[in-house]
Amino acid sequence: MAAPAFLKFWAPGLVALAALLATCAEAPATDPVSERLQGTWLREYEATGVKAARVLRLDPGGAFVEKVRAADAAGRAAEQVHEGTGCTTAPTSSAATR
């Protein structure tokens, strides 16, 4: 992936994750913004022949799971999963390529 395509692909998720982790320590238990963001979010897009699907699940306690799957025109796919529990632990990551 070229640098601009890479940034376009990963930047939104990384910004959201950074914002979530940065505000976690100061956020009250009933933060109205966090309450509105809870649930499952899907984003699908295509750039330079690569199709990507991102699924982000935000749970009430601050836990999250983000799954990303990208596939090129030849059918090669890569999947990555990030998960964590809000402020209590650092996010974990796993990746697989098919």
Question: Mean pLDDT over residues 40-56, rounded?
Answer: 93
SS3 81: strand
Q: Cα 60–34–82 angle (5° rounding)?
A: 70
Q: How confident is the model at residue 60 (pLDDT cuts 50, 70, 90)?
A: confident
Question: Mean pLDDT over residues 37-63, rounded?
Answer: 91
pLDDT greater than 80 at residue 36: yes
73, with CB counted inside 10 A (0-12, 13-18, 19+), is exposed
Q: Give the separation between CA 70 and CA 53, rounded to whole angstroms.
A: 7
pLDDT greater than 80 at residue 31: no
Question: Mean pLDDT over residues 42-71, rounded?
Answer: 92
Q: Give the separation between CA 93 and CA 22, rounded to whole angstroms.
A: 18
pLDDT at position 33 is: 77
pLDDT at position 51 is: 94
